[in-house]
Amino acid sequence: CRMERLIQKNPVLFKTILNRAIAECPKSGALWAEAILCEPRPQRKAKSIDALKHCDNSDPVLLVTIGRLFWSERRVDKARTWFSRCIDLNPKYGDAYAWLYWLESETSTGTTTTTTTTTTSNPDSGSAEETDRLNAILTSVETNLPTHGEYWQQLSKDPKSNMLNASAKQILLQVVKVLKAQSSIL
């Protein structure tokens, strides 16, 4: 039974089990990521700071979760920074490339959101830079050939997905499709 099912049935029991698991495995980024996502919005930042202290700032699942938090708050530049940090620290973690690619493709509409203001620019003026960002992600994926990540591994190793002999770029684009279909930013 996955924990996602338990949270819907009994959130109090889920939090109890999650807290016990974190106490037993305090360096698990996956557990901390779940704990962050289960917190009410105002407490997520504090929980993510606690998680970073315990996970040595290098767990890819945790770094992607923090990037997703910033993206959900429309702080695109910070989200981009956290996804990029994850890729720099863990170039084999394919899910980070997928989240970053999704972010870049969603924000390439000419509207840029920063931490304090929202500005709308000419859609043609930023398109070359945005295309360059997407191409840089694709190039990085082809160079690093990621093999890890929950979604990345599910797709790349599933015989039904026809991705067993696919290029890293094809897997990336398919993982982005799956992320869009299966999950929201948070």
For 44-54, write each residue's pLDDT tens digit: 999 999 999 99
* pTM (predicted TM-score): 0.85
What architecture is the 69-107+131-185 domain classified under in CATH?
A: Alpha Horseshoe (1.25)
Contact at 8 Å (CB) between 115 and 60? no
pLDDT at position 178 is 93
Which helix (H) or strand (E) element contains residue 77?
Answer: helix 76-89
Residues with Cβ < 8 Å from 87, sequence gap 6 or more? 93, 96, 97, 100, 140, 144
CA distances from 109 to 30, 35, 46, 74 (A): 32, 33, 32, 14
pLDDT at position 109 is 60
Band of the pLDDT at 1, cuts 50, 70, 90? very low
pLDDT at position 8 is 72
The Cα–Cα gap between 148 and 154 comes to 9
pLDDT at position 3 is 64
Domain boundary assignment for the chain: 1-56, 69-107+131-185
